[in-house]
Structure 1
Amino acid sequence: MMRKGRPKTHGSSTELSEVTEVLKLKREIGLTSAVSLIAGTMIGSGIFMSPEWVLRNIGSPGGSLIIWTACGLLATFGALSYAELGTLIKESGGEYIYILRNFGSFPAFLFVFTSVIVVRPASVAAVSLSFAEYAVAPFYPGCSSPQLAVKCTAMVCILLLTLVNCLSVKLATSVMNVFTVAKLLALLIIILGGIALLVQGHTQSFQNAFQNTKTGAGIIGIAFYQGLWSFDGWNNLNYVTEEIKKPEVNLPRAMMIAIPLVTFFYLLVNVSYFAAMTPAELLSSGGVAITWGNKVLGSWAWLMSLSVALSTFGSANGTFFSGGRVCYIAAREGHMPGILSMAHVKCLTPSPALIFTSLVSFIMVIPGNFSQIVNLFSFTAWLFYGTTVTGLLYLKIKKPELPRSYKVPIIIPVVFLLTSTYLVLAPIIDQPQIEFLYIILFILSGVIFYFPLVRYKYHPACLQKLTLHLQLLLDVAPTEKDKD
């Protein structure tokens, strides 16, 4: 049930603080849309870009398939842990709200400061750049696409996503559903082509499959980063808990359907890539799916460019959908400017938060490089994933009496936490890079903003006036939590 509200007016002015009623986002995400949100976000640029980088880091086809299997298992462990958190803390916001409820305001602010400014916009930017690469490629056959054309196309993609998500939640979820079906069909084409090649005896890549496998701790960590990028989105449903119908049932059920399905598809797609290409050809391909299409589909190779473009657009939509919610929830809790906690009075979408996310994503696109963005995103994300699951272990040990509609065996979050710790520390210890130091310094720089703006609630008059003008311009009003 939704409640609309209009600000009271006094003469010609509208007072932001005097609101008779507030808005509430509606529960419009059923099981099908929940599965689509997870699978549709996970299946994006990664499976068409990351196989080359996983192989480059791990060194062998056999090692690559093990990395992909382990990534799927780790994502499943994480999702099952998050499912219990989602049934314990029935609020939207994902890691942010779980860290806030378990560890307090300061760690939650550091997370959301990093997430809103870097992690989520970086994810949207990376997926949009992937979309642009494949969308532009058919117009420049035989040569590299101009970076200006790629970046402009990526910006158009972000602009279109902003429009779709601001207009309607139902429209955004419908786009996810349609594009999820389209991308599953694209993966099915690759899988069936791979099966045909294997039947014909194209198994040379699997002979001595583990030859040249690299085993350094840091190398394996970076290989995991690239593989796990393809699984990013396994936690997206927890960002929109307040918009899910019967979350205590549909949250764990959607995760148990979507993630094993995606893992199964990913493994078969990688087998198909190795059936069509030697490791050397795959490493020099640039666009793995395009090279596969040229080898297997011949004159129909353009289908792969179209399929990858559709897939990445759908994934960007899911990432954008959930990323805007994190910004919105944080603002509602007082950790971001108040305007970002408001929703459109007619469309009932968190349009200010979505617009803000798109603006930061625009900035990320300008100097963006796919591989660098992935490593930046992965290191930061797994630092906070581990922190979040630590909160679940705390609740399991210290508060076992809390009512739970779903419980995960404790060994699963323990394994997930240990793996997260490895993924954060191994690259730093084995292959230290200055970028990791920059990320840590950026996270800690949140202290500068936390104490004056959040702890001591300093709100400059100019910011209050700006909020008022933006509220009138965007036709938005404050919202309340769903207490159902």
Structure 2
Amino acid sequence: MEKAFDRVPRFLIWWSMRKLGVDEWLVKAVQAMYRDAVIKVHSAVEMSYDVTGAKLYRPLPFPWITSVVWRGEAAGRDTSPSQRYSRNRKKENLPRAIWISLPIITSVYVFANIAYFAVLTPLELKESEAVAVTFADKTLGVMAWIMPLFVSCSTFGGLNGAIFAGSRLCFVGARAKHFPEFLAMINIKYFTPMPALMFGGLMAVTYLCIGNIYKLINYMAFVEAIFFGITISGLLYLRKTKPNMKRPIKVHICFPIFYLCILIFLTVMSLTSNPRECFVGIIVVCTGIPIYCFGVMWKRKPKVIRNALSKITILIQKCTLAMPQQDHFE
């Protein structure tokens, strides 16, 4: 069974490269590299057990797996749709961005982890504070300094995408009257949602008061999985109840179903493995309910409150040189 399963990736490599018109010698070279990497990974896994069968290292907790997978995969998945209001030719560029970027990112992540297992021992993986740096020290020699540089660039890129997407979410939410009015304004010089960017920075500083970045990641990953699951469930509901609704971008129904199954798996496993942090994440989300009731559901606010909100909006407009977005800017 294992041999049959091992033949599948090699067959896919051969079939894909032959379809692309790659020479046969290069196909065989890639297959040999893949086979060698698989052997080294199997050897590394076997080395993690001593002769008595006891593990030499502690297994990775599931919340860590969830957060690592989530952050690596989310770098392009949740930021691309958020740029919808900032791009031209959205129907063509959004699917193109997804289908080009995600396979590349996934391949890089998979091959990087294969390289770690092939070069480093389980003990080195356990004791290393930065696995990529340890890997670079053993393989790159005098050029090992380039690995921290690449990690910094990757971190900067991920942070840039998160800030970009988060500010647009606040911006669109304010346009739908779910956030204060001033968050739906753009700077008249740079045409960016500056109030929303400043609001996101303020919220980030507030979250950092927690002190433990790993708990913060677990809070966010669990809550994000819940809300994405609700969103995908709504998509499936509309696909069934309103099949003729106009949809600028439409994918096969198998993709959202598969994605929803992954979200359910991550949510359930997170709840069973670390319920305390999941419960705290739910509480953090529930703190927004009173604010929603005050800002959105309460329509007939007293004149004093309306005047105060209006003064705050005018003050932020002056400080950020912002104004509401007009139709001809879209």
Cα 1:367–1:299, aligned 2, differ >3 Å: closer, same or farther? farther
Aligned residue for 1:389?
A: 232
Asked if 1:285 is matched to 2:131, the reply is no
Map Cα deviations across residues 56-107 of structure 1 (whole Å, 9 max, x no partner).
Answer: xxxxxxxxxxxxx9xxxxxxxxxxxxxxxxxxxxxxxxxxxxxxxxxxxxxx
Aligned residue for 2:154?
A: 311
- Distance in 2, Cα, partners of 1:365 & 1:443: 16
Asked if 1:207 is matched to 2:43, the reply is yes
Q: How far is 1:463 from its partner?
A: 2.6
Aligned pairs for 1:415-454 within 5 A: 415-428=258-271, 430-454=272-296
Aligned pairs for 1:117-266 within 5 A: 204-207=40-43, 209=45, 220=62, 222-233=64-75, 234-266=77-109
SS at match of 2:236: helix
SS at match of 2:80: helix
**8 A contact 2:171–2:184 mirrored in 1:** yes
TM (norm. structure 2) is 0.78
Aligned residue for 1:471?
A: 317
SS at match of 1:402: coil
Which structure 2 residue ranges, 5 or more long, are not aligned? 1-8, 10-31, 50-54
Map Cα deviations across residues 429-472 of structure 1 (whole Å, 9 max, x no partner).
Answer: x2243221122122223221222221123344323212211211
Q: How far is 1:337 from its partner?
A: 1.4
- Distance in 2, Cα, partners of 1:224 & 1:437: 16
Map Cα deviations across residues 143-170 of structure 1 (whole Å, 9 max, x no partner).
Answer: xxxxxxxxxxxxxxxxxxxxxxxxxxxx
SS at match of 2:246: coil
Aligned pairs for 1:358-373 within 5 A: 358-373=201-216
Aligned residue for 2:308?
A: 462
- Distance in 2, Cα, partners of 1:388 & 1:463: 31
Which structure 1 residue ranges, 5 or more long, are not aligned? 1-68, 70-194
- Distance in 2, Cα, partners of 1:411 & 1:282: 37
Asked if 1:272 is matched to 2:272, the reply is no
Aligned residue for 1:143?
A: none
Amino acid in structure 1 at the alignment position of 2:292:
Y
RMSD, aligned CA: 3.0
Map Cα deviations across residues 330-380 of structure 1 (whole Å, 9 max, x no partner).
Answer: 112111111111111121110011011112222333544332222111101
Q: How far is 1:397 from its partner?
A: 0.6
Structure (1 or 2) with the larger CA radius of gyration: 2
Q: How far is 1:241 from its partner?
A: 0.9
SS at match of 2:114: helix
- Identify the range of structure 1 (391-400 vs 362-371) with the bigger mean alpha-carbon deviation: 362-371
- Distance in 1, Cα, partners of 2:306 & 2:248: 44
Map Cα deviations across residues 296-350 of structure 1 (whole Å, 9 max, x no partner).
Answer: 1222211111121122112211111111111111112111111111111121110
Q: How far is 1:480 from its partner?
A: 3.7
**8 A contact 2:210–2:216 mirrored in 1:** no
Map Cα deviations across residues 399-424 of structure 1 (whole Å, 9 max, x no partner).
Answer: 11123454322222122212212211
Cα 1:444–1:361, aligned 2, differ >3 Å: closer, same or farther? closer
SS at match of 1:236: coil
Q: How far is 1:219 from its partner?
A: 5.3
Q: How far is 1:482 from its partner?
A: 6.8
Asked if 1:411 is matched to 2:254, the reply is yes
Q: Number of residues paired by the alignment? A: 286
- Distance in 1, Cα, partners of 2:329 & 2:318: 27
**8 A contact 1:331–1:340 mirrored in 2:** yes
SS at match of 1:364: helix
Q: How far is 1:205 from its partner?
A: 4.1
TM (norm. structure 1) is 0.54
- Distance in 2, Cα, partners of 1:345 & 1:256: 34
